[in-house]
Structure 1
Amino acid sequence: MRTPGSFSKPTASVTGILWMLFMTLCFVMVNVLVKYVGDGLPVLESAFLRFLLGLIFLIPTLGAVRKARFTPQIWKLTFGRALFHALAMSCWFFAMTRIPMGEVTALNFMNPIYITIGAVFLFGERIALPRIMALIVAFLGGLIILRPGFRAIDPGHLSMVVSAMAFAGSYLIASRLAKLLPAAVVVFLMSVTVPIVIAPFALLHWETPTPHELALLFLTAAFATLGHYSMTRAFACAPQTVVQPVVFVQLIWSVSFGYLLFGEAIDPFVILGGAMIIAAISFITWREARKKTT
């Protein structure tokens, strides 16, 4: 018997897919705006201003923050996450100034793979052979994108690899914080502590931003907030096995916008590697969902 909120309803799945499509567009717009800012500002300053300007979107969470109880463990986890997230954001901003948008997006798809590996080594989670095979496919997809030995590896590529790994560390800590605090409070703590971590480094090479640059970074924060909200709504409407493959559309957006707006070449190896990574992630997600229902 189906419940009113059952995921089996086709309309719910369609709604979830539409929310996920909107999420992919939001996150690609973040890439576009960061690309427009480019190297006009120091990387760390851009990352700092992106978070600082985004604090306005946290006003609705203040009620939940006031009710939360913060323990030493929570503060330790929060600042540990801030270090990972600050590193991830700084490397991501740098990569956006060096390599095409499609490659940034495709390499960022490795993030869930690093999370899976991190959960095994840090939390002792078990991993079965099918998941190991999926990880190998994703790793091969990453090699197809980078093609080491067949072309020069730009510092932007290495920076994006570090960024995806650091994001994985941030999300692993977030999963622990989510068991101790409401989701809104976890987001608030990250958004406040990351600029605190970046600020001293940003001030070392501070350059006064123009109104145009500030506007672009404010829009970056707005689209990032919309993207995270849309992803949350998508997961609320439909299971991850339905909406996860839609993430691949983000690579299509990135390659298309990169070509149309910045004259970046369309690289079939990036499309192929990205497809392999998304296929591996979707398979892992499907297996996890299946295990929970059996």
Structure 2
Amino acid sequence: MPTAAALSRSRAQARMELAGSAFCFGLMAILARKLSQPGMGFTAGHLSVIRFVVGVVLSLAAFRIWPGLYRPGNYRLLVLRGLSGGLVVVLYFYALARIPAGEAGILYNLFPVFATAMSLFLFRERPTIHLLVAILAASLGVVLVLGQGGVALAVRLGAGEAAALAAAVFAAVSANAIRAARPTDNAPTIFFFFCLAGLPVVLPFALDPWPGGLVPWLVALLMSLLAFAGQLLMAEAYGALSVAEAAIWLQLMPVVQYLLAVPLLGERATTAGLAGVALTVTGVAYGTALGHRRRTA
């Protein structure tokens, strides 16, 4: 049995892995928005296809090196996770192409609250007052970010914002599919089906002429590798932390994304926007940690 000191070191390492995962996903979003700007020529469909193809190739290489790593069990849940994940990726990249990375990140990061709400019905758990408080706080944070301190939310809710919110909803579906599949399928197998089943979903969005140029393609490859690293670090960390604690650490992602967008994309950080980030992250973390009733022994 591991000692208390060994468990403490394992948990500390897992927290660092989640911090690294948040950084990878945040930087991935920044690069995706940069690749979507005029002059680069990549569409949301292009970026989605590149990300999934790289994921499939890296997964097949890992399965070749470690033959026992590929262990599919519940194909229905694996395919569901892939289909919903494909919609998440293409919608999120679409949002990044049309609104600032900070706004896209904060809207997308509402998915843990949505996932918690869905799980109340899927897993027959009763709602708590904590979940309602978390949704209220997170929603207020979104208002601050979108309105930059104003109240004209309806004016700001355009196609990009709607895509980010839709991505959050499908991400919540994916999260519950992963939760249901974990008893029968390991993380590498789930990630492989995420890429494999998601690829047909995003292919119809990649029919525009593909761009050329070595530098843009190298940036696109780096974006895909960051996404792969973020998924790998997150999956590894879940072995030592509870879902609630891991979700709290993953709230670093929108903070990283919002702050990196300032020097790398020239986006402007405002006091209201930063307050909105802080409030939304607090609300999502609170709802994820306390949104379920404690189970009795």
- Normalising TM by the smaller chain, what interval? 0.7 to 0.9
State how far apart, in whole Å, the 2-side matches of 1:170 and 1:65 are.
21
Asked if 1:174 is matched to 2:178, the reply is: yes
Asked if 1:276 is matched to 2:274, the reply is: no
AA of the residue aligned to 1:37: L
Change in Cα spacing, 1:286 to 1:154, as seen in structure 2 (3 Å) is closer
Identity %, equivalent residues = 19
Counterpart position of 1:41: 42
Structure 2: any 5+ residue segments left out of the alignment? Answer: none
Change in Cα spacing, 1:132 to 1:103, as seen in structure 2 (3 Å) is same
Moved more, 273-282 or 58-67: 58-67
State how far apart, in whole Å, the 2-side matches of 1:12 and 1:65 are.
22
Whether the 8 Å contact between 1:23 and 1:227 is mirrored in structure 2 is yes
Counterpart position of 2:62: 60
Asked if 1:194 is matched to 2:198, the reply is: yes
AA of the residue aligned to 1:185: T
Counterpart position of 1:216: 219
State how far apart, in whole Å, the 2-side matches of 1:79 and 1:240 are.
22
CA RMSD in angstroms comes to 2.9
Asked if 1:261 is matched to 2:253, the reply is: no
Whether the 8 Å contact between 1:23 and 1:228 is mirrored in structure 2 is yes
State how far apart, in whole Å, the 2-side matches of 1:174 and 1:232 are.
11
Change in Cα spacing, 1:4 to 1:285, as seen in structure 2 (3 Å) is farther
Asked if 1:4 is matched to 2:7, the reply is: no
Once the two structures are TM-superposed, the CA of residue 232 in structure 1 deviates from its matched residue by 3.0
Q: Secondary structure at the match of 2:156?
A: coil
Q: Secondary structure at the match of 1:34?
A: helix
State how far apart, in whole Å, the 2-side matches of 1:289 and 1:126 are.
7
Once the two structures are TM-superposed, the CA of residue 48 in structure 1 deviates from its matched residue by 1.1
AA of the residue aligned to 1:60: A
In the alignment of these two chains, the number of paired residues is 287
AA of the residue aligned to 1:47: S
Structure 1: any 5+ residue segments left out of the alignment? Answer: none
**TM-score, normalization: structure 2?**
0.83
State how far apart, in whole Å, the 1-side matches of 2:269 and 2:213 are.
32
State how far apart, in whole Å, the 1-side matches of 2:291 and 2:76 are.
30
Once the two structures are TM-superposed, the CA of residue 284 in structure 1 deviates from its matched residue by 3.5
State how far apart, in whole Å, the 2-side matches of 1:251 and 1:67 are.
33
Once the two structures are TM-superposed, the CA of residue 116 in structure 1 deviates from its matched residue by 1.1
State how far apart, in whole Å, the 2-side matches of 1:161 and 1:105 are.
10
State how far apart, in whole Å, the 1-side matches of 2:288 and 2:156 are.
34
Q: How does 1:80-229 map to 2 (within 5 A)?
A: 80-147=80-147, 149=152, 152-203=156-207, 205-229=208-232
